[in-house]
């Protein structure tokens, strides 16, 4: 007949097994597990929002975006793209104008601007506050932009004191406003031997190319001189060094003519024609000036002044705008002649 000790071992094993199963069940119950369907929805939404941002960057209010152009910009086939467009249409973010053209709805335009604003603010934060390099912030900002609420975006904007530019030179849009049309051209297009140019923006879509440009000292605000052009490259001089750039690299650098002697716009006489070099002042003021069209590289004509001399009317991008002298003096320009 088995003794008490013969039953003790198996009994303890059963007890421990029951305890392990109970503990496992409690842990599983407590886990904030994300269902597979919810995970798929989150991934689908992020991909759709990325496509929406590409369409937003291409949109022109006068002309709808072509599907072929969007496919090239998104780097995908048209068949794959149309699946994404079906999702954007279902969410009322776009509307198809024809079989091969689309427009963003007001709802889609609002969400795209919100994502763009969040991304560029995060890039600015990561460079200024975290010390990250220009070529490292894009992926990290992309991770944050999809999760931010409008209130969180506003708080980040205020914490950074309402910046106008991200570290790559792209405009950070103000709430509920469209991106201003920039007057910069690519170095490949603008750079002629002997010209002096100022970098205002870098294409940050390729991290590898961006890393090379940063390593060469080519960043927004840097001035350069075009030394020579060849079939496959552009030779520029930066900080007393000659730097050869491939045409692909030159295509990703956006420049405006470097001013030799910038002056405040408010000092120019009536009839003068000038080119915007820089907008100074706080972030909110800079945004207001950019929204009016006073972007670097833009042509400005001094049209007329009020009877008491202030404000003065300026023509910029076919629009007549009146500025008081204190605002006009924050816009540095280079005079290019008489209108």
Same domain, 225 and 252: yes
Question: What's the rounded Cα separation, in Å, for the pair 56 and 104?
Answer: 7
Q: How far apart are CA 85 and CA 314, in angstroms?
A: 42
- Please tell me the predicted confidence (pLDDT) of residue 303: 94
| Cis preceding linkage at 267, omega within 30 | no
Looking at residue 161, its pLDDT comes to: 92
- Calculate the dihedral angle through the C-alpha atoms of 161, 146, 186, 196, rounding to the nearest 10 degrees: 20
Look at residue 219 and tell me if it is in a domain.
Answer: yes
Instruction: Give pTM, 2 decimals.
Output: 0.76
Q: Are residues 133 and 101 in the same domain?
A: no
In this structure, is residue 277 part of a structural domain?
A: yes
Confidence of residue 315 (pLDDT cuts 50, 70, 90): very high
CA angle 232/184/53 to nearest 5° reads 95
Select the more confidently predicted residue: 339 or 289: 289
Contact indicator for 179, 235 with CB cutoff of 8 Å: no
Residues in CB range of 170: below 8 A, 6 or more apart: 120, 201, 204
Q: Check whether residue 114 and residue 103 sit in a common domain.
A: no
> For residue 47, what pLDDT is reported?
86
Residues 251 and 288 in one domain: no
Residue 33 has pLDDT above 70, yes or no: no
Whole-number pLDDT of residue 31: 39
Residues 120 and 96 reside in one and the same domain: no
Domain tally for the chain? 4
Average pLDDT, the chain: 84
* Percent residues over pLDDT 90 in the chain: 45
User: Do residues 115 and 148 both lie within one domain?
Assistant: yes
Residue 28: is its pLDDT beyond 50? no
Please indicate, yes or no, if residue 168 is contained in any of the structural domains.
no
Neighbour order of strands in the sheet with 223-229: 185-186, 253-257, 196-202, 223-229, 233-238, 241-246
**Percent of the chain whose predicted confidence (pLDDT) is above 70:** 85
CB 283 within 8 A of CB 163: yes
Residue-number span of the structural domain to which 50 is assigned:
41-107
pLDDT tens digits for range 44-76: 788 889 999 989 888 865 678 888 899 888 888
Task: List the one residue out of 159, 160, 122 whose CA is nearest residue 139.
Answer: 122
Whether residue 312 lies inside any domain: the answer is: yes
Any domain includes 6: no
- Domain containing residue 223: CATH number: 2.30.30.90
Identify the CATH number of the domain in which residue 131 sits.
1.10.60
Q: Is residue 30 part of a domain?
A: no
The residue ranking higher by pLDDT, 108 or 21, is: 108
| 3-state SS track over the chain | CCCHHHHHHHHHHHHHHHHHHHHHHHHHHHCCCCCHHHHHHHHHHHHHHHHHHHHHHHCECCECEEHHHHHHHHCCCHHHHHHHHHHHHHCCCEEEEECCEEEECHHHHHHHHHHHHHHHHHHHHHHHCCCCCCCCHHHHHHHHHCCCCHHHHHHHHHHCCCCCECCCCCECCCCCCCCCCCCCEEHHHHCCCCCEEEEEEECCCCHHHHHHHHHCCCCCCCEEEEEEECCCEEEEEECCEEEEEEHHHHHCEEEEECCCCCEEHHHCCCCEEEEEEEECCCHHHHHHHHHHCCCCCCEEEEEEECCCCCCEEEEECCEEEEECHHHHCCEEEEEEEEC
pLDDT surpassing 80 at residue 18: no
Among 159, 193, 223, the domain boundary falls at 159
Residue 4 lies in a domain: no
Q: What CATH number does residue 77 fall under?
A: 1.10.10.10
Residue 20 lies in a domain: no
Same domain? For 102 and 147 the reply is no
Q: Whole-angstrom Cα distance, residue 83 to residue 337?
A: 53
Q: Are 99 and 112 in a shared domain?
A: no
96 and 47 assigned to the same domain: yes
* 284, 305: one domain: yes
**pLDDT at position 332 over 60:** yes
Whether the predicted pLDDT of 19 surpasses 60 = no
pLDDT average, residue stretch 125-132:
93
- 296-310 average pLDDT score: 89
Report the pLDDT value the prediction gives residue 36, as an integer from 0 to 100: 39
Residue 232: is its pLDDT beyond 50?
Answer: yes
Do 126 and 69 fall within a single domain? no
Q: Which two tokens stand for residue 195?
A: 């010209």
The predicted-structure confidence for 139-186, as pLDDT tens digits, reads as follows 889 989 998 999 999 999 999 999 999 999 998 988 876 677 777 889
Mean pLDDT within 27-49: 56
């Amino acid at each position: 007949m088995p003794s008490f000790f013969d039953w003790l071992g198996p009994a303890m094993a059963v007890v421990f097994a029951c305890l392990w199963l109970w503990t496992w069940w409690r842990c599983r119950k407590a886990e904030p597990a994300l269902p597979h369907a919810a995970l798929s929805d989150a991934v689908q939404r992020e991909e759709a929002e990325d496509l929406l941002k590409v369409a937003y960057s291409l949109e022109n209010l006068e002309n709808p975006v072509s599907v072929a152009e969007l496919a090239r910009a998104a780097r995908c086939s048209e068949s794959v793209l149309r699946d994404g467009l079906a999702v954007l249409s279902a969410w009322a973010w776009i509307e198809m104008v024809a079989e091969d053209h689309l427009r963003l709805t007001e709802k889609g335009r609002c969400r795209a601007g919100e994502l763009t604003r969040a991304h560029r603010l995060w890039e600015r934060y990561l460079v200024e506050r975290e010390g990250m390099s220009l070529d490292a912030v894009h992926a990290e900002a992309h991770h944050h932009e999809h999760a931010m609420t409008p209130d969180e975006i506003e708080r980040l904007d205020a914490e950074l004191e309402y910046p106008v530019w991200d570290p790559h030179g792209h405009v950070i849009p103000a709430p509920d406003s469209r991106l201003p049309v920039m007057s910069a051209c690519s170095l490949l297009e603008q750079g002629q031997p002997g010209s002096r140019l100022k970098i205002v923006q870098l294409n940050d879509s390729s991290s590898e190319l961006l890393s090379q440009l940063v390593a060469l000292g080519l960043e927004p605000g840097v001035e350069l001189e075009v030394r020579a052009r060849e079939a496959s490259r552009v030779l520029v001089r930066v900080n007393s060094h000659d730097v050869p750039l491939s045409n692909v690299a030159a295509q990703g650098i956006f420049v405006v003519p470097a001013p030799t002697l910038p002056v405040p716009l408010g000092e120019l006489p009536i009839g003068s024609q000038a080119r915007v070099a820089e907008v100074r002042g706080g972030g909110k003021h800079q945004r207001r000036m950019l929204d009016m069209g006073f972007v670097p590289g833009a042509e400005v004509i001094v049209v007329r002044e009020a009877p008491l001399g202030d404000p003065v009317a300026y023509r910029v991008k076919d629009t007549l705008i009146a500025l008081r002298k204190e605002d006009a003096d924050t816009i540095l320009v280079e005079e290019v002649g008489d209108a």
